[in-house]
Amino acid sequence: MKAIAGCLLLVLCSAVECSWATWECKEAPRLYSIRQIDAGMGQVVAATKYGRPYQLSGRYWYSLGLSRLKHVSVGPAGAWGCDSSNKVYKLVGGNWKVVNGQTLQQVDAGGDGQVVGIAPTTNDTYCQTAKYAGSYYGEGTLAWTGLTKSLVYVSCGKMYGCWGLDTKNRTFVAKKVNSTTCVTEGWTLVDGPAMQMIEVSTDGEVFGVTSDGKVFQRLGITDSLREGSGWVKIPMCMPISHLTYDLNHLWVVTTSGWLLQCTQEEAAPPAPPA
Ligand SMILES: *[C@@H]1O[C@H](CO)[C@@H](O)[C@H](O)[C@H]1NC(C)=O
Ligand SMILES: *[C@@H]1O[C@H](CO)[C@@H](O)[C@H](O)[C@H]1NC(C)=O
Ligand SMILES: *[C@@H]1O[C@H](CO)[C@@H](O)[C@H](O)[C@H]1NC(C)=O
Protein backbone atom coordinates (compact mmCIF):
# COMPACT_ATOMS: atom_id res chain seq x y z
CA MET A 1 0.00 0.00 0.00
CA LYS A 2 2.80 2.35 0.94
CA ALA A 3 4.58 1.72 -2.33
CA ILE A 4 1.51 2.44 -4.43
CA ALA A 5 0.66 5.63 -2.53
CA GLY A 6 4.11 7.04 -3.20
CA CYS A 7 3.89 5.96 -6.78
CA LEU A 8 0.48 7.40 -7.49
CA LEU A 9 1.65 10.91 -6.91
CA LEU A 10 4.09 10.46 -9.75
CA VAL A 11 1.49 9.43 -12.31
CA LEU A 12 1.44 12.81 -13.93
CA CYS A 13 2.34 13.76 -17.43
CA SER A 14 5.64 15.44 -17.76
CA ALA A 15 5.39 18.94 -19.16
CA VAL A 16 7.18 17.85 -22.31
CA GLU A 17 4.93 14.96 -23.19
CA CYS A 18 1.62 16.72 -22.84
CA SER A 19 1.97 20.36 -22.11
CA TRP A 20 -1.72 21.01 -22.73
CA ALA A 21 -3.11 18.81 -20.01
CA THR A 22 -2.15 16.49 -17.22
CA TRP A 23 -3.59 13.23 -15.98
CA GLU A 24 -3.92 12.70 -12.28
CA CYS A 25 -4.40 9.20 -11.00
CA LYS A 26 -5.55 7.85 -7.69
CA GLU A 27 -6.41 4.42 -6.43
CA ALA A 28 -9.91 3.32 -7.42
CA PRO A 29 -12.14 1.04 -5.33
CA ARG A 30 -10.24 -2.22 -5.19
CA LEU A 31 -11.56 -5.28 -7.00
CA TYR A 32 -9.42 -8.28 -6.17
CA SER A 33 -8.18 -10.30 -9.14
CA ILE A 34 -9.55 -7.77 -11.63
CA ARG A 35 -8.67 -8.83 -15.16
CA GLN A 36 -10.71 -6.63 -17.47
CA ILE A 37 -12.72 -3.41 -17.18
CA ASP A 38 -15.10 -1.44 -19.40
CA ALA A 39 -16.84 1.87 -18.82
CA GLY A 40 -19.60 3.45 -20.86
CA MET A 41 -22.45 5.88 -20.36
CA GLY A 42 -21.37 6.54 -16.79
CA GLN A 43 -21.31 2.90 -15.78
CA VAL A 44 -18.26 0.77 -14.98
CA VAL A 45 -18.16 -3.02 -15.23
CA ALA A 46 -15.31 -5.46 -14.76
CA ALA A 47 -14.47 -9.15 -14.80
CA THR A 48 -12.07 -10.96 -12.48
CA LYS A 49 -9.67 -13.69 -13.49
CA TYR A 50 -12.05 -16.12 -11.79
CA GLY A 51 -14.70 -15.09 -14.32
CA ARG A 52 -16.94 -13.06 -12.03
CA PRO A 53 -18.64 -9.94 -13.45
CA TYR A 54 -18.97 -6.84 -11.24
CA GLN A 55 -20.26 -3.31 -11.48
CA LEU A 56 -19.06 -0.28 -9.58
CA SER A 57 -21.52 1.66 -7.45
CA GLY A 58 -20.03 4.51 -5.47
CA ARG A 59 -17.07 3.15 -3.53
CA TYR A 60 -17.94 -0.54 -3.85
CA TRP A 61 -18.01 -3.28 -6.44
CA TYR A 62 -21.12 -5.45 -6.60
CA SER A 63 -21.70 -8.75 -8.39
CA LEU A 64 -23.48 -8.25 -11.69
CA GLY A 65 -25.78 -11.17 -12.41
CA LEU A 66 -25.13 -14.82 -11.63
CA SER A 67 -23.22 -16.09 -14.68
CA ARG A 68 -19.46 -16.52 -14.83
CA LEU A 69 -18.05 -14.23 -17.53
CA LYS A 70 -14.49 -13.62 -18.63
CA HIS A 71 -15.18 -10.34 -20.44
CA VAL A 72 -17.89 -7.70 -19.98
CA SER A 73 -18.77 -4.49 -21.81
CA VAL A 74 -21.31 -1.73 -21.30
CA GLY A 75 -22.56 0.92 -23.70
CA PRO A 76 -25.52 2.16 -25.72
CA ALA A 77 -26.50 -1.46 -26.54
CA GLY A 78 -26.65 -2.42 -22.86
CA ALA A 79 -24.34 -4.75 -20.95
CA TRP A 80 -22.85 -7.67 -22.86
CA GLY A 81 -20.28 -10.33 -22.01
CA CYS A 82 -18.85 -13.70 -22.91
CA ASP A 83 -17.93 -16.74 -20.85
CA SER A 84 -14.96 -19.10 -20.89
CA SER A 85 -16.59 -21.25 -23.58
CA ASN A 86 -17.21 -18.07 -25.66
CA LYS A 87 -20.97 -18.04 -25.26
CA VAL A 88 -22.34 -14.51 -25.53
CA TYR A 89 -24.56 -12.94 -22.86
CA LYS A 90 -26.66 -9.84 -22.48
CA LEU A 91 -27.89 -8.37 -19.22
CA VAL A 92 -31.68 -8.65 -19.20
CA GLY A 93 -33.78 -7.92 -16.12
CA GLY A 94 -30.73 -7.82 -13.88
CA ASN A 95 -29.30 -11.18 -14.93
CA TRP A 96 -27.39 -12.61 -17.86
CA LYS A 97 -29.24 -14.23 -20.75
CA VAL A 98 -27.44 -16.30 -23.35
CA VAL A 99 -27.45 -14.70 -26.79
CA ASN A 100 -28.01 -17.57 -29.19
CA GLY A 101 -26.13 -17.46 -32.46
CA GLN A 102 -22.44 -16.67 -32.74
CA THR A 103 -19.76 -17.62 -30.17
CA LEU A 104 -17.41 -14.75 -29.37
CA GLN A 105 -14.27 -14.47 -27.26
CA GLN A 106 -14.53 -10.71 -26.74
CA VAL A 107 -17.46 -8.30 -27.14
CA ASP A 108 -17.80 -4.54 -27.15
CA ALA A 109 -21.01 -2.59 -26.61
CA GLY A 110 -19.50 0.89 -26.89
CA GLY A 111 -20.64 1.58 -30.46
CA ASP A 112 -23.60 3.56 -31.68
CA GLY A 113 -26.00 0.84 -30.56
CA GLN A 114 -24.28 -1.95 -32.44
CA VAL A 115 -22.31 -4.71 -30.67
CA VAL A 116 -19.08 -6.08 -32.09
CA GLY A 117 -17.06 -9.14 -31.15
CA ILE A 118 -14.41 -11.62 -32.21
CA ALA A 119 -15.04 -15.27 -32.93
CA PRO A 120 -12.79 -17.86 -31.28
CA THR A 121 -10.24 -19.71 -33.43
CA THR A 122 -10.87 -17.87 -36.71
CA ASN A 123 -10.59 -14.38 -35.14
CA ASP A 124 -13.29 -13.24 -37.53
CA THR A 125 -14.91 -9.99 -36.39
CA TYR A 126 -18.70 -9.76 -36.19
CA CYS A 127 -21.24 -7.02 -35.69
CA GLN A 128 -24.82 -7.03 -34.41
CA THR A 129 -27.00 -4.19 -35.65
CA ALA A 130 -28.26 -1.61 -33.17
CA LYS A 131 -31.87 -2.63 -33.63
CA TYR A 132 -31.41 -6.31 -32.80
CA ALA A 133 -28.65 -5.78 -30.22
CA GLY A 134 -30.79 -3.27 -28.37
CA SER A 135 -34.03 -5.22 -28.36
CA TYR A 136 -32.73 -8.77 -27.77
CA TYR A 137 -34.04 -10.18 -24.50
CA GLY A 138 -32.98 -13.79 -24.61
CA GLU A 139 -35.39 -15.32 -27.10
CA GLY A 140 -34.50 -16.46 -30.60
CA THR A 141 -31.18 -16.46 -32.40
CA LEU A 142 -29.20 -13.48 -33.61
CA ALA A 143 -27.48 -13.55 -37.00
CA TRP A 144 -24.24 -11.56 -36.99
CA THR A 145 -22.66 -9.65 -39.88
CA GLY A 146 -18.96 -10.07 -40.66
CA LEU A 147 -16.80 -6.97 -40.36
CA THR A 148 -14.35 -8.27 -43.01
CA LYS A 149 -11.27 -8.47 -40.81
CA SER A 150 -9.54 -10.99 -38.55
CA LEU A 151 -8.79 -9.31 -35.25
CA VAL A 152 -7.72 -10.26 -31.74
CA TYR A 153 -9.29 -7.22 -30.03
CA VAL A 154 -12.01 -4.80 -31.12
CA SER A 155 -13.69 -1.72 -29.63
CA CYS A 156 -16.16 0.82 -31.04
CA GLY A 157 -17.23 4.33 -30.18
CA LYS A 158 -20.48 6.04 -30.88
CA MET A 159 -18.97 8.68 -33.12
CA TYR A 160 -15.82 7.77 -35.04
CA GLY A 161 -15.97 4.09 -35.89
CA CYS A 162 -14.23 1.02 -34.51
CA TRP A 163 -10.60 0.23 -33.72
CA GLY A 164 -9.01 -3.20 -33.53
CA LEU A 165 -5.80 -5.20 -33.35
CA ASP A 166 -4.92 -7.78 -35.95
CA THR A 167 -3.23 -11.10 -35.21
CA LYS A 168 0.16 -9.35 -35.36
CA ASN A 169 -1.15 -6.82 -32.80
CA ARG A 170 -1.05 -3.98 -35.29
CA THR A 171 -3.71 -1.26 -34.90
CA PHE A 172 -6.47 -0.73 -37.46
CA VAL A 173 -9.41 1.64 -37.65
CA ALA A 174 -12.71 1.14 -39.44
CA LYS A 175 -13.58 4.77 -39.88
CA LYS A 176 -17.19 4.08 -40.67
CA VAL A 177 -19.29 1.25 -39.32
CA ASN A 178 -22.96 1.71 -40.02
CA SER A 179 -24.79 0.75 -36.83
CA THR A 180 -28.02 0.08 -38.75
CA THR A 181 -26.50 -2.30 -41.29
CA CYS A 182 -23.08 -3.24 -39.79
CA VAL A 183 -21.56 -2.37 -43.16
CA THR A 184 -17.99 -1.03 -42.97
CA GLU A 185 -15.95 0.78 -45.57
CA GLY A 186 -12.84 -1.21 -44.71
CA TRP A 187 -9.97 -1.01 -42.26
CA THR A 188 -6.99 1.37 -42.29
CA LEU A 189 -3.64 0.53 -40.71
CA VAL A 190 -2.56 2.97 -37.99
CA ASP A 191 1.19 3.14 -37.43
CA GLY A 192 2.40 2.80 -33.87
CA PRO A 193 3.67 0.36 -31.27
CA ALA A 194 2.32 -3.21 -31.00
CA MET A 195 -0.68 -3.14 -28.70
CA GLN A 196 -2.22 -5.77 -26.44
CA MET A 197 -5.55 -3.96 -26.21
CA ILE A 198 -7.28 -0.95 -27.68
CA GLU A 199 -10.18 1.03 -26.27
CA VAL A 200 -12.53 3.43 -28.01
CA SER A 201 -14.77 5.21 -25.58
CA THR A 202 -18.39 5.82 -26.43
CA ASP A 203 -17.49 9.50 -26.84
CA GLY A 204 -14.79 8.64 -29.38
CA GLU A 205 -11.50 8.84 -27.44
CA VAL A 206 -8.95 6.13 -28.28
CA PHE A 207 -6.38 4.55 -25.94
CA GLY A 208 -4.02 1.64 -26.37
CA VAL A 209 -1.93 -0.55 -24.07
CA THR A 210 1.32 -1.67 -25.66
CA SER A 211 2.62 -5.21 -25.46
CA ASP A 212 4.98 -4.09 -22.68
CA GLY A 213 2.28 -2.34 -20.64
CA LYS A 214 2.62 1.30 -21.64
CA VAL A 215 -0.41 3.53 -22.18
CA PHE A 216 -0.92 5.67 -25.27
CA GLN A 217 -3.71 8.02 -26.31
CA ARG A 218 -4.50 8.74 -29.93
CA LEU A 219 -4.71 12.47 -30.50
CA GLY A 220 -6.16 14.55 -33.31
CA ILE A 221 -9.24 12.42 -33.99
CA THR A 222 -11.94 14.43 -35.73
CA ASP A 223 -14.89 13.62 -37.93
CA SER A 224 -12.76 14.20 -41.04
CA LEU A 225 -9.57 12.58 -39.63
CA ARG A 226 -10.92 9.53 -37.88
CA GLU A 227 -7.52 7.83 -37.70
CA GLY A 228 -6.19 10.79 -35.70
CA SER A 229 -2.74 12.29 -36.04
CA GLY A 230 -0.45 10.67 -33.48
CA TRP A 231 0.03 8.68 -30.31
CA VAL A 232 1.02 10.38 -27.07
CA LYS A 233 2.29 8.38 -24.13
CA ILE A 234 0.53 8.75 -20.80
CA PRO A 235 3.18 8.03 -18.17
CA MET A 236 2.21 5.37 -15.65
CA CYS A 237 4.41 4.31 -12.79
CA MET A 238 3.57 0.63 -13.22
CA PRO A 239 3.00 -1.60 -16.25
CA ILE A 240 -0.64 -1.71 -17.30
CA SER A 241 -2.59 -4.71 -18.55
CA HIS A 242 -6.01 -3.23 -19.30
CA LEU A 243 -7.83 0.09 -19.43
CA THR A 244 -11.07 1.81 -20.28
CA TYR A 245 -12.23 5.41 -20.63
CA ASP A 246 -15.55 7.17 -20.22
CA LEU A 247 -16.51 10.78 -19.45
CA ASN A 248 -13.05 12.01 -18.41
CA HIS A 249 -12.33 8.92 -16.33
CA LEU A 250 -9.48 6.71 -17.45
CA TRP A 251 -9.47 3.43 -15.53
CA VAL A 252 -6.25 1.42 -15.66
CA VAL A 253 -5.52 -2.06 -14.34
CA THR A 254 -1.89 -2.63 -13.45
CA THR A 255 -0.22 -5.96 -14.13
CA SER A 256 0.00 -6.36 -10.35
CA GLY A 257 -3.78 -6.05 -10.04
CA TRP A 258 -4.27 -2.48 -8.80
CA LEU A 259 -7.02 -0.35 -10.29
CA LEU A 260 -6.28 3.33 -10.82
CA GLN A 261 -8.69 6.07 -11.78
CA CYS A 262 -7.20 8.98 -13.71
CA THR A 263 -8.78 12.26 -14.68
CA GLN A 264 -7.46 14.95 -16.93
CA GLU A 265 -7.25 18.56 -15.97
CA GLU A 266 -6.48 21.42 -18.28
CA ALA A 267 -2.97 22.54 -17.55
CA ALA A 268 -2.99 25.69 -15.47
CA PRO A 269 -1.30 28.62 -17.19
CA PRO A 270 2.08 29.46 -15.69
CA ALA A 271 1.75 31.59 -12.58
CA PRO A 272 2.49 35.26 -13.26
CA PRO A 273 5.70 36.52 -11.69
CA ALA A 274 5.13 37.90 -8.20
C1 LIG B 1 -6.18 -16.00 -33.89
O2 LIG B 1 -5.44 -15.17 -32.98
C3 LIG B 1 -4.54 -15.88 -32.17
C4 LIG B 1 -3.89 -14.88 -31.25
O5 LIG B 1 -4.82 -14.35 -30.37
C6 LIG B 1 -3.51 -16.61 -33.02
O7 LIG B 1 -2.67 -17.38 -32.18
C8 LIG B 1 -4.20 -17.51 -34.03
O9 LIG B 1 -3.26 -18.06 -34.91
C10 LIG B 1 -5.22 -16.70 -34.82
N11 LIG B 1 -5.95 -17.59 -35.70
C12 LIG B 1 -6.07 -17.36 -37.01
C13 LIG B 1 -6.85 -18.35 -37.79
O14 LIG B 1 -5.55 -16.37 -37.55
C1 LIG C 1 -26.54 3.27 -42.83
O2 LIG C 1 -27.09 2.53 -43.90
C3 LIG C 1 -28.45 2.84 -44.17
C4 LIG C 1 -28.96 1.85 -45.21
O5 LIG C 1 -28.09 1.78 -46.30
C6 LIG C 1 -28.52 4.29 -44.63
O7 LIG C 1 -29.87 4.65 -44.89
C8 LIG C 1 -27.97 5.18 -43.55
O9 LIG C 1 -27.92 6.53 -43.98
C10 LIG C 1 -26.56 4.75 -43.16
N11 LIG C 1 -26.15 5.53 -41.99
C12 LIG C 1 -25.05 6.27 -42.01
C13 LIG C 1 -24.74 7.00 -40.75
O14 LIG C 1 -24.31 6.36 -42.98
C1 LIG D 1 -1.89 -9.28 -28.82
O2 LIG D 1 -3.24 -8.99 -28.50
C3 LIG D 1 -3.88 -10.02 -27.76
C4 LIG D 1 -5.35 -9.66 -27.64
O5 LIG D 1 -5.56 -8.53 -26.87
C6 LIG D 1 -3.19 -10.18 -26.42
O7 LIG D 1 -3.79 -11.23 -25.69
C8 LIG D 1 -1.72 -10.49 -26.64
O9 LIG D 1 -1.06 -10.49 -25.41
C10 LIG D 1 -1.10 -9.44 -27.53
N11 LIG D 1 0.28 -9.82 -27.84
C12 LIG D 1 1.27 -8.95 -27.72
C13 LIG D 1 2.63 -9.45 -28.08
O14 LIG D 1 1.07 -7.79 -27.34
DSSP for 172-184 reads EEES-B-TTT--B
pLDDT given for residue 12 in this prediction: 42
* Domain presence at residue 240: yes
pLDDT over 70 at 21, yes or no: no
Counting atoms of ligand 3 from 1, which one is nearest the CA of 210?
14
pLDDT given for residue 256 in this prediction: 94
Give the C-alpha distances (Å, rounded to integers) separating 209 from 5, 18, 118, 169, 213: 23, 18, 19, 11, 6
Question: What value does the mean pLDDT take over residues 150-175?
Answer: 97
User: What's the pLDDT tens digit per position in 185-240?
Assistant: 999 999 999 999 999 998 899 999 999 999 999 999 999 999 999 999 999 989 99
* Domain presence at residue 217: yes
Q: Among 152, 168, 197, which residue has the most ligand 1 atoms within 8 Å of its CB, making it the best to mutate? A: 152
Give pTM, 2 decimals.
0.91
Decide whether any atom of ligand 1 lies within 6 Å of the 122 Cβ: yes
Give residue 50's domain range.
2-265
Total number of domains in the chain: 1
- Which helix (H) or strand (E) is 95 found in, with range? strand 95-99
Q: How far apart are CA 251 and CA 257, in angstroms?
A: 12
* Domain presence at residue 274: no
Which of the four pLDDT bands, split at 50, 70 and 90, describes residue 272? Answer: low
* Domain presence at residue 35: yes
Q: Among 114, 131, 178, 182, which residue has the most ligand 2 atoms within 8 Å of its CB, making it the best to mutate? A: 178
Query: Residue 148 belongs to a domain with what CATH number?
Result: 2.130.10.30
* Average per-residue pLDDT for the chain: 92
* Domain presence at residue 271: no
* Domain presence at residue 158: yes
* Domain presence at residue 47: yes
* Domain presence at residue 270: no
Q: How far apart are CA 75 and CA 45, in angstroms?
A: 10
